[in-house]
Chains A and B, each alone.
Chain A
Amino acid sequence: MNRIKNTELERLTFWQKIYLPEIVRGMGITLKQVFEPKFTRQYPEEKWTPEGSYRGRPVLVEEEDGERCVACGLCSRVCPALAIEVQAGETDRNKERYPVKFEINMLRCIFCGFCEEVCPEEAIVMSKDYHLVFQSQEDAILGKEKLLVPISKLRDRLEFLRQYK
């Protein structure tokens, strides 16, 4: 017959086996923590600023002369959750097309970052915005006015992409 060796039980010392002293030791550790410095963050009063590598809600990059997006629809195509809808239109600017409508349904988005990865214009990037609260389903569909973010606020992420993408 096979006998299993080196079981949990066999590894315990005598003092561990009689159980009570270990309880006391554990409570000692707990007691010690009461006097240690505290790390709890008082969110939402106290906010956390993530690093550039953080994948918050996807936003559109806005430059001085408007959005970078050319409404190619690749983000919409690659999005596994079908969160993005893009409708292209014609513009006089050199790039010919721009998004007449660009909507991300944040109830669908799973923050995978595929849209950012596929975008040929680096026009959609993951921001640091994780504070997403909506009152209704309609509110959760963000249009261009909510998605466009000035490029100056996205430097961290763009730098991160430049280095690691």
Chain B
Amino acid sequence: MPRIFIDGKEIEAAQGQTVIEAAYANGIQITHFCWHPELTISGNCRMCLVEVGMPKRLPDGNYQNDESGNPVISYFPKLQIACATVVSEGMHIRTKTDSVVHAQEAVMEFFLINHPLDCPICDEAGQCKLQEYAYCHSRGESRFEDEKVHAPKMQSWGPTIMFDAERCIKCSRCIRFAQEIAGQDVLTFVNRGDHVKIELFPGKQFDNPYSMNVIDICPVGALTSKDFRFKSRVWDMSFNDSICPGCARGCNIKIGVRNNEILRIEPRSNPGVNKYWMCDYGRLNTYKNVNDNRITSPMIRWKDGLIQCSWDEAVSKAADLMKKYKPDEIMVLGASRATNEGNYILSKFAREILKTDNIDLISDIDDSFGDDFLKVSDKKPNYKGAFEVGIVPGDSGVSMNNLAENMRFKNIKVLYVMTDLLISHRPLLDELDDLELLIVHAQNNTYLTEKADIIFASSTFAEVEGTFVNIDKRVQHFGPALITAENLRHMGMKMSRLDKFGAPNDRWTQHDLRECLPNWKILMLLAEQFGVKWEYKKANDIFREISANIESFKGMTYELLDEYQGIVLGKADTPAPKINKYVSYVMKPN
């Protein structure tokens, strides 16, 4: 393991590592545009120039020492690029000397010669590497007085991406992403000198399932999202950490919110799950159901229609009706889209209060969805977790295998569904009319809610705190990103500037406050109607109980999960070592 020194700080680097890799692994920043930890080295931007030196040797092969006994370092006369210089024993690197600062300023000046400086109309502004470096590493003025080179703006690269050739700084990250990660080699450089341009191969589109990641890695605003285009400025949004509910990979994400509406989703790096990426499906489709078509308050059936009611009315009505049935006439369905906390409480509710063995879980497998990169065919984020916390039929219980026929023969008269839509199990939908009582926790208006007798408005993944277990059994913790009537006090200060400081007479705060509750809170209210009082105040209280009672969760806490960015079931004592994360821009969006 070569020992190197960066600005005098001793670092244990790995054999074959580059200087910039060693620096980031030790939390030291080196300016760069074209280097990305997951892409091959291209070394074209020259922003990572540093001074590199080696200890001087005497003709006899020994190191030369100065009077105080320290080795004399002889620095190379020309600066080297940190992204392509491999470390070697005793190497000294200087990143802050005058010559380095000079080089950074010169490189920045070159970049800005032909850059259109149209930040006011650019979606990247506020989280742009070029902007950031222009503040920190540039002279703040240009000596260039001639006409800039112009290039076409507003070019479509496919269904998801807009390209602005003027803003591009030719770092080639997008080309390398297309070749190496997305496997769709359709981008290339054309021309030379200051007329060099990125182009699509003739007749081709950049439209692979992971295309939108180039928007995140493009250090400037040359690549922007068609879906998001101009919806909001980043500094007006809040970005809270969450987990993508699109499939069982459980990619780590950030949810961009303004006025209590999700405007976009972007990946958050987690070396153990999704690295720096996420798929376009997760990015574009998972937030629509949170924004639109929501069930915003509890409802009960009244003369062929559903009417809104208070939580008290809904739970007391539900409890009264349920009490009329024998335990084995009731079937409870957990949800692979709900958190472990919700599912755990549901299992407890079914076993301890309803005393039924009829409890099961629907899986949602779509083989056409999975691929060999991130997407997996299990399209729900928490099947493994729900199973693990007890959503399993009891010994004599009805299970998914025979539920439909039990409903047809009226053995099961009551169906209690926690947020599942039953879409992936058509036979059940056809038997719904045979039921005497259908109670659902629902987030959206669906076929199921049309048939329901009682609807409890349930909070979506973006409004609750909880944990999911992904396809690799990794338990991941996430928190809410949106305000509901229930989490308002807790969430208020985590929202964007506008959401925080709005007053009733401001039009920009006029979002509706949904009266929905997390699943476990609904079940707690219901349990109270059955005479059982549970004392959970937050999701954390439930998770503590889970980790105390369930072997595979032993030793896990929210803090530990956050620290390690998720821990594999049963591995709380020996979690995989933390990897120092690389963050592609420093300026926080809020």
A positions within 8 Å CB-CB of B: 70-74, 76-77, 82, 85, 88-90, 95-97, 103, 105, 107-108, 120-121, 137-138, 141
Contact = CB atoms under 8 A, between A and B. Distances in A.
A121 B120 contact: yes
Of A85, A103, A107, A108, most buried by chain B (CB within 10 Å of CB) is A85
A162 B418 CA distance: 65
A113 to B, nearest CB: 19
Contacts of A95: 121
A72 B123 CA distance: 9
B508 A85 contact: yes
Nearest to A84: B508
A97 B507 contact: no
Of B153, B154, B231, B505, most buried by chain A (CB within 10 Å of CB) is B505
A96 B162 CA distance: 12
B355 interface: no
Given A82-B498, A85-B507, A85-B508, A97 B121 contact: yes
B230 interface: yes
Given A89-B230, A90-B230, A105 B120 contact: no
Nearest to B233: A73
Contacts of A121: 120
A127 B506 CA distance: 23
Of A82, A95, A120, most buried by chain B (CB within 10 Å of CB) is A82
A90 B579 CA distance: 41
Given A71-B230, A73-B236, A82-B498, A96 B121 contact: yes
Nearest to B120: A72
Contacts of B507: 85, 103, 105, 141
A140 to B, nearest CB: 8
B229 A90 contact: yes
B505 A74 contact: no
A70 B230 CA distance: 11
A96 B506 contact: no
Identify whether the interface residues of A are mostly helix, strand, loop, or mixed. Answer: loop
Contacts of B121: 70, 72, 95-97
B120 A77 contact: no
Contacts of A141: 505, 507
B120 A74 contact: yes
Contacts of B119: 72, 120
Contacts of B231: 88
B216 to A, nearest CB: 21
Contacts of B497: 82
Nearest to A81: B501
Nearest to B229: A90
B582 interface: no
Nearest to A83: B506
A95 B498 CA distance: 26
Given A70-B121, A103-B507, A97 B230 contact: yes
A70 B502 CA distance: 24
A95 B230 CA distance: 13
Contacts of A103: 507
A26 B154 CA distance: 76
B505 A137 contact: yes
8 contacts: A73-B233, A82-B506, A90-B230, A97-B121, A97-B230, A105-B505, A105-B507, A141-B507
B530 interface: no
Contacts of B235: 77
Contact of B233 (A77, A89, A105, A120): A77
Contacts of A105: 505-507
B505 A70 contact: no
Closest 10 CB pairs of A and B: A72-B120, A88-B230, A73-B233, A137-B505, A85-B508, A120-B120, A96-B121, A97-B121, A70-B121, A97-B230
A121 B348 CA distance: 62
Contacts of A71: 230
B396 to A, nearest CB: 59
Given A72-B120, A74-B120, A97-B121, A82 B501 contact: yes
Contacts of A108: 506
Contacts of B230: 71, 88-90, 97
